[in-house]
Structure 1
Amino acid sequence: MAALNDLLPKAAVRLDVRVADWQEAIRAAGGLLVETGATTDDYTAEMIRNVEENGPYLVIAPGFAFAHARPSPAVLRTGMSWVRLDQPVEFGHESNDPVHLVVGLAAEDSGAHTAAMAALAQLLADPATTQALQDAADAEALLAVLAGPDGGRDDRGQEETAGEQAGDERRAGNAQPVSEKAVHKILTVCGNGVGTSLFLKNTLEQVLDRWGWSRHVTVEATDTISAKGKASEAVAILTSREIARTLGEIGVPVKVVEDFTSGPEVDRILRDTYDV
């Protein structure tokens, strides 16, 4: 599977870009995908249409939009782009606006970029790394942060202090596993199943690892259409507020996550799901 630095070339990075609105922000990210040979212009239109049809669910963390659409003939190869805005813009998200960073993703399928998404999710969950990315003076400096000695780490709960994490582990240790034999499934859902749902899957898996429940709960990232068919297999669905509205009543609890990179928020939702 492709790593983050394999998918994001220097030519696909633009810093301090001026745009008037969210459409221009996505066009900037899409234009870089075109320039670097990842997509055709049609894919940019598909990314914009994704927001128009599904809402601003792709604003998955405060200030951060992950622009993408479904795999299509407009995707020539899997690739990413990075646009840091000079002035933030509103996407219409209830809690994560305004957006100052737009990362574009073009995926040929649902699997080749999962390692890169996991690495990026971990980086953006670390406040120090997020600040370093925001402060990077040029593309070289930004890519150095992404590929630095900590760039591929598998940290657990970066958002928590050491004391909070220790307390979290003690509480999780007191929670009994669901069953030594049972394996539960939780779905993480987005509009297309190739981008934001993978961010949320990674964060949830980190929490499950910290709890010691990874053997008992599997996580599957999927899209809205597939989620409705798979709902009966799951104990819960984790998704954005916009996608939750689209899913409606599907027979299992649908839990809304505001910040897809926040371990503490996902931890609270998991505790509520299992009443621990």
Structure 2
Amino acid sequence: MTLTNTILPKDQIQVAETIENWQQAVKLASEPLLKQGFITQEYIQSMINSVKEHGPYMVIADYFALMHARPGEGVIQQSMSLLVVKEPVDMMNKPVKIFLILAAKDNQSHLESLQKIMTIFMDTQKYQVILSGNKAEITELFIEGGNGR
């Protein structure tokens, strides 16, 4: 057990230079959760299918996609992971650099951690740090009680 409480553990944060397409980005962003057994392949496919069916509605801010599928389906443990891509990836005519994967077990239990994480994303300075793609600086932002710059 670690002393610091992280909203997003370091091993669930990834940075890449470029990614071929948004589907590959979603798969790569989901990989840490899949490897730890927090989600199944079905959950990843559900996120991709949702975008294919409903368009890029998960792009909720400039360069930012909050990726998710229906709560519970393919989710073993509530979790989140983050992928920052330095070169924007086209998601149906929307450029995306930040892929935040949200795996929720139900409609309620993830709301507190999502609120904490969105506070970081809504801070303009912190958002720029995330967009810069420096993994050490990004990791620092998600340590609760960290200096948060």
The two structures have a TM-score, normalised by structure 1, of: 0.48
- Is 1:83 the counterpart of 2:80? The answer is no
Q: What residue is the counterpart of 1:134 in the other structure? A: 131
SS at match of 2:83: strand
Output one character per residue of 1:103-159: Cα deviation in whole Å (capped at 9) or x when no partner: 101100111111111122222122111112223532x431212233459xxxxxxxx
Q: 1:17 offset after TM fit, Å?
A: 4.7
Q: What residue is the counterpart of 1:146 in the other structure? A: 142
Change (3 A) 1:47 1:116: same
Q: CA RMSD in A?
A: 2.0
Q: Distance in 2 between matches of 1:84 and 1:111?
A: 26
Q: 1:35 offset after TM fit, Å?
A: 1.6
Q: What residue is the counterpart of 1:251 in the other structure? A: none
Output one character per residue of 1:77-105: Cα deviation in whole Å (capped at 9) or x when no partner: 00001001131111125xxx211110101
1:159-198 mapped onto 2 (5 Å cutoff): none
Change (3 A) 1:67 1:26: same
Identity of aligned residues (%): 29
Q: What residue is the counterpart of 1:229 in the other structure? A: none
Q: 1:54 offset after TM fit, Å?
A: 1.5
Hey, which of these two has a bigger chunk of helix by percent? 1
User: Match for 1:5: what amino acid?
Assistant: T
Q: What residue is the counterpart of 1:190 in the other structure? A: none
Output one character per residue of 1:41-80: Cα deviation in whole Å (capped at 9) or x when no partner: 1111111011111111000000001111012341110000
The two structures have a TM-score, normalised by structure 2, of: 0.85
Q: What residue is the counterpart of 1:32 in the other structure? A: 32
Q: How many residues align?
A: 143
Question: Is the 1:11–1:36 contact (alpha carbons within 8 Å) kept by the matching residues of 2?
Answer: no
Change (3 A) 1:23 1:118: same
Q: What residue is the counterpart of 2:71 in the other structure? A: 71
Question: Is the 2:86–2:131 contact (alpha carbons within 8 Å) kept by the matching residues of 1?
Answer: no
User: Match for 1:137: what amino acid?
Assistant: N
Higher RCO (CA 8 Å, separation ≥ 6 residues):
2
Hey, which of these two has a bigger chunk of strand by percent? 2
Gaps of 5+ in 2: none
User: Match for 1:13: what amino acid?
Assistant: I
Q: Distance in 1 between matches of 2:133 and 2:44?
A: 26
Determine which structure has more spread, i.e. the larger CA radius of gyration.
1
1:103-142 mapped onto 2 (5 Å cutoff): 103-135=100-132, 137-138=134-135, 140-142=136-138
Q: What residue is the counterpart of 1:19 in the other structure? A: 19
Q: What residue is the counterpart of 1:43 in the other structure? A: 43
Question: Is the 1:30–1:41 contact (alpha carbons within 8 Å) kept by the matching residues of 2?
Answer: no
User: Match for 1:22: what amino acid?
Assistant: W
Q: What residue is the counterpart of 1:61 in the other structure? A: 61
Change (3 A) 1:59 1:9: same
